[in-house]
Structure 1
Amino acid sequence: MPKRKLIITYNIDQAYRQEINDIIPDWEIIAGKKRSVWLNHLKEAEIIVGWKKEITHHCIDKESNLRWVQSWSSGVNGLPLDEMAAQKIFLTNASGVHAYPISETIFALMLALTRNIHTYVRNQLSKTWNHGNLKLEIHGKTVGIIGVGAIGKETAKIAKAFGMKVIGLRRSGNPEEYIDEMYKPEQLNTILPLCDYVVITLPLTKETYHLFGTQQFNLMKSSSFLINIGRGEIVAEEELMKALNEQQIAGAGLDVFEKEPLSKDSPWWNLENVIITPHTAGSTEYYDKRIIQDIFIPNLKHYIQGAEPVINLVDYVKGY
């Protein structure tokens, strides 16, 4: 009888591989970043950790053995969700892995924009000693967190250390610790005029695509900053660029864009009131540990007992 197969499309530490092997000693475990390592095993794979585009062709059909996918990222908008739902494939994401590194990046961007650090870095490169019109501070200001999941909660917690007022927005509208006021998605336009910082931590879904456009930027304070670490497609980029150029808002910190990587001739590179990071907000030395030990292994223990994964199980209807 052929062995059941688990494919991990990343290089992981031998210690993590051994932990997995101890749980499923009778399985064949294929792990490695190079596609040549796992490509010929896709048809037989029952579990895949880490999705790649070429997997769709081999695994999304009725003859595939695939029953569970553990995404290596929190966002799953790039996966063939409709097809996976039709085949009743379990899908779990990496939600929670990024709470610390992304909340740190959010505040790095907020503080840099507030205290003009991006201007001073440019001045240092040109050996220019200039005040840069520095005057803003972050203490006591209001931050709107658009999407209060694990990242949003951690961001709110940090905001309280700066004495900030925190406004949150999420689907349920349920209250949350460190959030002073919570609103529902349909109330987005109500809260934007109240915020000195607007932080987008949403997943990309049909509902959030181009959620932010000219109308929203017109409602924001001219002194406010936008931070987007969700997905580039949540923001209508040309409309954001117009708002920045016309000083409808003061600046933006952007980790994500509609097309990545940015081309060398992209006008985004030239905006002085924008800080760009290359979709690295979630990078952390603890990434593998959190996704393997905190999410995948506990779920694997449930799965081999005949139960569905319980941590970060994606709702195909919601898209996250």
Structure 2
Amino acid sequence: MKRIICLHTLTPDQIAKIEQVAPGYTVTVAKSTDISSETVSDAEIIVGWSKHIVESALEANSKLKWIQTWSAGVDTLPLKRLEQRGTLLTNSSGVHAIPIAESIFAMLLSFSRQLHVAVRNQAEGKWEPKLASAGALTLTELRDKTLVIAGVGEIGRETARLAKAFGMKVIGVRRSGKALPDVDQMYTMDGLHEALSHGDYIVSILPLTDETHHLFDSSAFGAVKPGACFINVGRGPTVDTPSLLEALQTGQLGCAGLDVFEEEPLPVDHPLWKMPQVVITPHVAGSTDRYTERVVDIFVQNLQAYVNNQQLPRNLVDYSREY
């Protein structure tokens, strides 16, 4: 009997759904810290990933042929070793589109209507109708503002759709430069700085690759429209943190909404915590009570193709691009 391991909790119905698609396989559901190395090396398919199973999964006698990650990003996986083994790798791109797009707009609306300032004033019992915070935008509207989206994949497309509903102009930046609905103007990555110069609000949804590491540096922040708002829901290391701090301190950036950081958890003494123009969330923008069902849907669709010796139709990672 061939084995599928899932490192995340599944309902009995979800397990049955997987078994129905792949009747020749047994499904093992366990935490990475509770599963034996023998069981890991016996698995042909692993759903999820963990540092605790790396050596067992990649040993010479491992039966591993395919990994379906639980996340959209794959930067924490040993990509070179997986590529050398010829291991198929699929991610969970698309699972996060709705919750992250809504998290982006939670931040956009917080900054445009200064809700983050009101909440802080509430905690101190302060009645302050001006709702002004150092360096932050004053009370304004999203309508007619320009939103720049760096990394227009599934999340970016959903964000653009919502932005148009708010009457915003949308500028996109993506590797291919290919036009998309709801994006008024699209740039390639070479045009990032030009795109940034037009944005009232800038959202980074970029994956972490060699190309995007510290892409948002002092040069990039120097290119933004003074006082613009920056939101990062992609990957923390795409941003050079000292350059971000400097841009916030000088007012080059008016505010920032940050869900991801170069170092996580963000150290308790980090100056970002106390900046009144910054909203911090602990890498939860993609969290939703519908997460598991969406990952399972992607996996089952791919599994159906896999057992029929067909190319996996959803989210096959290109090792050369690292996503």
TM-score in terms of structure 1 length: 0.97
Partner of 1:272 in structure 2?
A: 276
CA distance in 2, matches of 1:310, 1:289: 18
**Aligned residue number for residue 263 of structure 1:** 267
How far the C-alpha of 1:27 sits from its partner, in A, is 1.8
Residue 6 (structure 1) aligned with residue 9 (structure 2): no
Q: Give the RMSD, CA atoms, in angstroms.
A: 1.1
1:1-320 matches, within 5 Å, as 3-33=1-31, 35-37=33-35, 39-131=37-129, 132-133=131-132, 134-293=138-297, 295-320=298-323
Percent identity (aligned): 43
SS at match of 1:307: coil
SS at match of 2:176: coil
Per-residue CA shift, 1:168-227, capped at 9, x if unaligned?
111111110000001100011111111101100110000000000111111112221001
Give the match's secondary structure for 1:194.
coil
The letter for the 2-side match of 1:64 is S
Alpha-carbon contact 1:31-1:38 (below 8 Å) kept: no
Distance 1:190 1:159 in 2: 20
> In 2, are the aligned partners of 1:12 and 1:32 still within 8 Å (CA)?
no
Give the unaligned 5+ runs of structure 1: none
Counterparts of 1:91 and 1:142, CA distance in 2: 36
TM-score (norm 2): 0.96
Contact 1:146 1:168 in 2 (8 A): yes
* Deviation for aligned residue 1:80: 0.3
Structure-1 separation of matches of 2:111 and 2:81: 42
- Per the TM alignment, residue 162 of structure 1 is displaced from its structure 2 partner at its CA by 1.1
Q: Which runs of 4+ in 1 moved over 6 A?
A: none
Q: Secondary structure at the match of 1:167?
A: strand
What stretches of structure 2 of length at least 5 have no aligned partner?
133-137
Return the letter of the residue paired with 1:154.
E
Residue type at the aligned position of 2:315: N
Shift in CA distance, 214/63, structure 1 to aligned 2, threshold 3 Å: same
Shift of 1:135: 2.6
Q: How many residues align?
A: 317
Q: Deviations over 1:85-106 (max 9, x none)?
A: 0000000000000000000000
Q: Secondary structure at the match of 1:151?
A: helix
- Change over 3 Å in CA distance of 1:37–1:57 after alignment to 2: closer
